[in-house]
Amino acid sequence: MLIDFGSGGQDLEGDDGYDDMQSNAIIDNLQDIGYIINALAVLNYELDTTTADLVTEPGHPGISTRAAELLPDSNGNDPCPNLDESLKTMICLCRAVQPSNVPQISGLANMIMEHIQERDEEWYDDEYESDEKIAVLFQTLLFDANTS
């Protein structure tokens, strides 16, 4: 799958373990999507390039990610306590420094579908997670946005 042809003219073969252009284009697109979702999550479109290690399991070596601003600092302070932990993990994986750590589309889709099936507004137990509140938010921010 290719979102656009932005990388089409580049020689994308490299030392990342992926020698075909299609795999590299998919990884590039997932990293770009991760950047966009990361920027939306922190409401900052000029993300810094600081890296941090995402540790998914105790004792597991961390995965270096460019989504450091989503992860707790060395004192354990969570900069985004209201952002779902699973969503943070998916964003961090999409922004992995090593392309081999970026999830495959099918794996990412499975993670998303599992959470959609498991979690509804009652699961979050927050009035702002209701379908009605989200619809109003989209209406206000997207459809009725000030364009001037």
Q: Which DSSP string corresponds to 72-119? A: --TT---S-TTS-HHHHHHHHHHTBSSGGGSPPHHHHHHHHHHHHHH-
**Average pLDDT rounded to a whole number, residues 23-38:** 91
The domains of the chain are located at 21-143
Cβ neighbours of 65 (radius 10 Å): 27
Burial 84-118 (b: 16+ CB within 10 A, else e): eeebbbbbbbbbbeebebbbeeeebeebeeeeeee
pLDDT digits (tens, 9 = 90+) for 71-113: 998 898 999 998 999 999 999 999 999 999 999 999 999 999 9
42 in Cβ contact with 35 (< 8 Å): no
| pLDDT for residue 56 | 78
Does the pLDDT of residue 3 top 60, yes or no?
no
Of the chain, the percentage scoring pLDDT greater than 90 comes to 45
| The model's pTM | 0.73
In whole angstroms, give the CA distance from residue 63 to residue 92: 9
pLDDT confidence tier of residue 1, bands split at 50, 70 and 90: very low
- The number of beta carbons lying within 10 Å of the beta carbon of residue 63 is 20
Regarding predicted confidence, which is higher, 76 or 129?
76
Alpha-carbon distance of 8 to 144, in angstroms, equals 36
* The CA-based dihedral angle spanning residues 86, 88, 89, 91, taken in that order and rounded to the nearest 10 degrees: 120
Mean pLDDT across the chain: 84
